[in-house]
């Protein structure tokens, strides 16, 4: 707990975390800020809580710089707040990142034009220069989701008080109240399912501007319909990005007023294959374009990875 409040006004709060910090269960918090004016928190090691609430702010203007590891949720509430996930740092999400007052968020939603999108380091902005992990990563060999197989977790890895992965799940839907900007050095990891099953997703109340790298792990592939990675209340922008292609799949991003979306283009009938193999590959491509190929969704994802 870091606090600065008084009859003569609040002073600035400065916190440098150089040790492992883990809050308790229930209502436990890794680090809580009360009051203050222009506050700065720098974490250089690990910040988390058994409860999942890594960091909670208050009425002050909170600037958070993560140079280490942060696991779980953050809620900075009131004030002029911003979060920087630095180059070399890692943030692993649970389900929410609150960077501004919810009433202001509702008033601002949808009001930002493509000519005035969020900037790195700006107010109410999560800036990713480092690695953003949307929960745990799914297996590289897909599960049989159609048969009801479910993802495991790491809750039993060690005792909860020492387990920073306690509460993290493979599929992470994150409610981000504010803006999201990923720069050229940033990378976000997504588990994605092209079909009826859930994918990682960030619901951003403001803008999402995505450059840098997007890591894609296929969980299911039964169609080639665009998949929303970042849904926005403001503007979605695909900047100077990179997504690694596989032997048969090429990915691309598009941005619009609804968010930032992932598209896939398949070529399973590669030129170097034998004629029968090319014909089979062509049928697989056609099945994806047609959609509804649930019976081969797992196989296609495995081949696509």
Report if residue 47 sits inside a domain: no
103 has pLDDT over 70? no
Residue-averaged pLDDT of the chain = 89
Residue 99 has pLDDT above 80, yes or no: yes
What pairing do the DSSP bridges indicate for beta strands 173-177 and 96-98? parallel
- Look at residue 213 in the predicted model and tell me its pLDDT: 99
Top-confidence range, 91-105, 120-134, 183-197, 259-273 = 183-197
Residue 12 in any domain: the answer is no
Higher pLDDT, 290 or 237: 237
Q: What is the pLDDT of residue 222?
A: 93
Mean pLDDT of 37-52: 96
* Residue 170 belongs to some domain of the structure: yes
Q: What is the pLDDT of residue 200?
A: 99
Angle at CA of residue 94, ends 189 and 213, nearest 5°: 15
Is 130 a member of any domain?
Answer: yes
Mean pLDDT calculated for residue range 213-229 = 96
How many Å apart are CA 217 and CA 237, to the nearest integer? 22
**Beta carbons within 10 angstroms of residue 117's beta carbon:** 21
pLDDT at 10 over 70: no
Domain annotation covers residue 171: yes
User: Which residue range(s) make up the domain with 125?
Assistant: 81-304
β-strands 259-266, 227-232 pairing: antiparallel
> Binning pLDDT at 50, 70 and 90, where does residue 147 land?
very high
- Angle 297-304/275-290 helices, nearest 10 degrees? 120
Give a yes or no: residue 39 inside a domain: no
Q: Is residue 239 part of a domain?
A: yes
Question: Is the pLDDT at 209 greater than 70, yes or no?
Answer: yes
Listed residue (305, 138, 298) closest to 222, CA to CA: 298
- 139 falls within a domain: yes
- H or E element, residue 47: strand 46-49
24-33, 131-140, 217-226, 287-296: least confidently modelled range? 287-296
Mean pLDDT of 191-200: 97
The SS3 assignment for 50 reads: coil
Angle at 124 between CA 111 and CA 130, to 5 degrees: 120
The count of domains in the chain is 1
| pLDDT band, very low/low/confident/very high, at 195 (cuts 50, 70, 90) | very high
Q: What is the mean pLDDT of residues 242-271?
A: 89
Structure tokens at 19: 């040790």
259 three-state secondary structure: strand
Tell me the pTM: 0.90
Please name the helix (run of DSSP H) or strand (run of DSSP E) that holds residue 284, with its range, or none.
helix 275-290
Tell how far CA 8 is from the center of its chain.
Answer: 40
CA-closest candidate to residue 221, choices 280, 265, 270: 265
């Amino acid at each position: 707990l870091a606090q600065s409040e008084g009859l003569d006004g609040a002073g600035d709060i400065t916190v440098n975390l150089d040790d492992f910090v883990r809050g308790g269960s229930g209502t436990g918090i890794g680090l809580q800020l009360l009051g203050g004016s222009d506050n700065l928190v720098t974490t250089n090691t690990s910040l988390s809580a058994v409860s999942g609430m890594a960091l909670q702010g208050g009425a002050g203007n909170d600037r958070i710089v993560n140079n280490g590891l942060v696991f779980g949720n953050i809620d900075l509430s009131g004030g002029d707040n911003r979060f920087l996930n630095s180059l070399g740092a890692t943030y692993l999400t649970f389900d929410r990142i609150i960077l501004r007052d919810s009433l202001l968020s509702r008033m601002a939603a949808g009001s930002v034009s493509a000519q005035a999108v969020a900037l790195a380091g700006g107010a109410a902005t999560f800036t990713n220069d480092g690695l953003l992990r949307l929960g745990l990563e799914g297996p590289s060999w897909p599960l049989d989701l159609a048969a009801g197989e479910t993802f495991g977790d790491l809750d039993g890895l060690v005792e909860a008080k020492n387990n920073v992965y306690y509460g993290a799940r493979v599929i992470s839907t994150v409610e981000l109240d504010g803006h999201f900007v990923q720069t050229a050095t940033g990378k976000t990891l997504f588990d994605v399912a092209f079909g009826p099953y859930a994918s990682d997703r960030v619901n951003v109340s403001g803008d999402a501007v995505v450059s840098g790298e997007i890591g894609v792990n296929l969980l299911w592939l039964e169609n080639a319909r665009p998949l929303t990675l970042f849904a926005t209340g403001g503007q979605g922008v695909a900047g100077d990005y990179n997504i690694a292609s596989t032997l048969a799949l090429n990915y691309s991003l598009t941005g619009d007023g609804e968010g930032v979306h992932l598209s896939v283009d398949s070529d399973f009938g590669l030129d170097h294959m034998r004629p029968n193999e090319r014909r089979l590959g062509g049928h697989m491509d056609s099945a994806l374009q047609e959609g509804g190929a649930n019976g081969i969704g797992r196989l296609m994802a495995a081949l696509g990875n």
